[in-house]
Chains A and B, each alone.
Chain A
């Protein structure tokens, strides 16, 4: 009897915790977006300028040299560069912001009891919102134009969800480690650069020598970029094994991130 009552109380407390987590998440995400855009939703499109300008630069410089790998079409190269840039840009800005999220809220964590994971998670959600309003409509248009198949547009969900899983997983890892190692952001810049140059964003993966190319697949962004390109640009029904492998690497990274966070988070408060 007593045990049953206890279970019920425990259960209600859990429900309350979940409600509070959702409330906190909502308020942190809206705060983040409000600070970023200061009342103008057009700010989202301002940040699309970065991938658009880079696409222009890459096309101008590499377009002529690489277009032979893209059916001799500069436009195809241009679109491929853009989809790759969207992924890499999202990844680097999202994880770089997440890295700082726990340490930056250290004072708050010392004053009020808040679930620590809320800070990295809220940054990923804020960036996801950003992606959905900014680049996703463009990707959907590309898909509909090239394949005129609504199913392909729905399949976009998989690489985009995997991308966010990858960001969340890596974000949890780096934000946890940053509590202990405050020089991590210098090293992380280097890691981002390695991931960025090893993703076939502005070059076709065919130019990489056969010995090295399998190594590129260790980069979790590669399968995401490839499946995204297949869905948006090829016009064919996409290779599902590619879609699954990107989804799978996303899941693995989220699990790794959760394990890393779970083992470390009790030690955070002494160092904040």
Chain B
């Protein structure tokens, strides 16, 4: 069953560095007749892509080739300038939550907050609190504000919330790995669980060995174009040339 389908997807984005961000300058430029509309850059060019259920797809390419942008288009964060994106099933981006917590409110409140942002209902999240706290080894800290946690604890909490999901499609921009040695082995196990047979996985990584071991197919992006889709081995070979 196909779960993700992109037809002729192109994306143009405004280049931020050229933008003035400034009302005063914009008005003065308008008055002096020097105003020009902001320039746009093509990030993705006519992407056609079909991914079936259970596929583990690695995405490779040089920096700035559009890998993360492609993931964001599939997540629905960006809307394509032209073309259509269709996704079937619950999609979960595994994101680094570490920096995003609200320091003043308690660990439990932050868990519920991020759970809802990630697409769960409040009831579902209330049921998950104890397992998340247990996995993050923070049971004694439930009612303590996040600002009182150490940076390692915060990272563990972030990982535990982000991976406590049962998505149909898992989106990974670089593999998450946090914490001390003990937690790292736990988090590796958890990642292996997420890699179950029927979960579709999309993964951006520069760790080519890891991709070769874990992915069933690969996409090679080059300046916003798909240069190659197919076996991981082949894709890496072309990429390295």
Contact = CB atoms under 8 A, between A and B. Distances in A.
Interface of A: 19-20, 23-24, 26-27, 30-31, 34-35, 38, 107-114, 180-184, 187, 266-267, 269-271
A266 B79 contact: yes
A107 B99 CA distance: 10
A26 B121 CA distance: 11
19 contacts: A23-B122, A27-B116, A27-B117, A31-B102, A31-B105, A34-B109, A108-B117, A110-B77, A114-B117, A183-B21, A183-B24, A184-B23, A267-B14, A269-B78, A270-B16, A271-B14, A271-B16, A271-B19, A271-B21
A31 B109 contact: yes
Interface of B: 13-14, 16, 19, 21-24, 26, 72, 75-79, 93, 95, 99-100, 102, 104-105, 109, 112-113, 116-119, 121-122
Nearest to A270: B14
A123 B67 CA distance: 35
B77 A180 contact: no
Contacts of A109: 77
Given A110-B72, A112-B75, 20 more contacts: A23-B116, A23-B121, A27-B116, A27-B117, A27-B122, A31-B113, A34-B104, A35-B104, A35-B105, A38-B104, A107-B99, A109-B77, A110-B77, A112-B117, A113-B77, A181-B22, A181-B23, A183-B22, A183-B23, A271-B21
Contacts of B78: 269
Interface of B is mostly: mixed
A24 B115 CA distance: 10
Contact of A180 (B13, B21, B76): B21
Contact of B76 (A30, A113, A181, A270): A113
Contacts of A38: 104
B109 A111 contact: no
Contacts of B104: 34-35, 38
B113 A27 contact: yes
A111 B77 contact: yes
Contacts of A270: 13-14, 16
Given A34-B104, A35-B104, A107-B100, A24 B23 contact: no
Contact of A181 (B16, B26, B75, B93): B26
B38 to A, nearest CB: 9
Nearest to B103: A35
Contacts of A182: 21-22
Contacts of A35: 102, 104-105
A31 B108 CA distance: 12
Contacts of B22: 181-183
A19 B167 CA distance: 19
A109 B76 CA distance: 11
A20 to B, nearest CB: 7
B15 to A, nearest CB: 9
A20 B125 CA distance: 13
A150 B113 CA distance: 40
A111 B172 CA distance: 11
B86 to A, nearest CB: 13
A112 B122 CA distance: 17
A187 B76 CA distance: 34
Given A35-B102, A112-B93, A182-B21, A19 B117 contact: no
A24 B114 CA distance: 10
